């Protein structure tokens, strides 16, 4: 399966391509440091500037959180979870870290496939 990745949309000329890339891309939001053994919040948001559709045949089916090649968590969705209106899907994951992490998120669109976030490094002390 092809994995799509975010491109810096400020460098893209065509508005349609900016919309396509942004609304499918997953973004990891969290602190850059965490305490070992304590609950740590990681927010994953799909889309930044552009909203993703929520139609019966075109929606975000799942969002995953990974630490390098280690699968951490997944949230699964059905069509209509955003009220059948375009929006930004957001998921809060709570994990308990034991060592430094390299977090990435994956979002699966039922029409446009799998999208991977940029890596976010978290120092654990």
How does DSSP assign 2-37, residue by residue? -EEE---GGG---HHHHHHHHHH-EEEE--SEE-TT
The model's pTM: 0.88
> In the predicted model, what is the mean pLDDT of the chain?
91
Task: Identify the structural domains of the chain with CATH numbers, from first to last.
Answer: 3-124 (2.60.40.730)
Summarised one tens digit per residue, pLDDT across range 58-109 is 999 999 999 999 999 999 999 998 889 888 999 999 999 999 999 999 999 9
Summarised one tens digit per residue, pLDDT across range 31-51 is 999 999 999 999 999 998 888
């Amino acid at each position: 399966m092809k994995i799509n990745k975010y491109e810096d949309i400020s460098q893209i000329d065509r508005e349609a391509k900016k919309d396509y890339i942004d609304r499918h891309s997953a973004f990891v939001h969290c602190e850059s440091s965490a305490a070992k053994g304590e609950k740590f919040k990681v927010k994953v948001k799909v889309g930044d500037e552009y909203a993703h559709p929520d139609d019966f045949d075109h929606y975000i089916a799942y969002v995953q959180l990974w630490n390098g090649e280690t699968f951490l968590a997944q949230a699964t969705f059905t069509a209509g979870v955003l009220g059948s209106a375009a929006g930004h899907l957001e998921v809060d994951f709570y994990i308990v870290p034991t060592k430094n992490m390299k977090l990435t998120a994956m979002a699966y669109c039922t029409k446009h496939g799998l999208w991977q976030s940029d890596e976010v490094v978290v120092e654990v002390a």
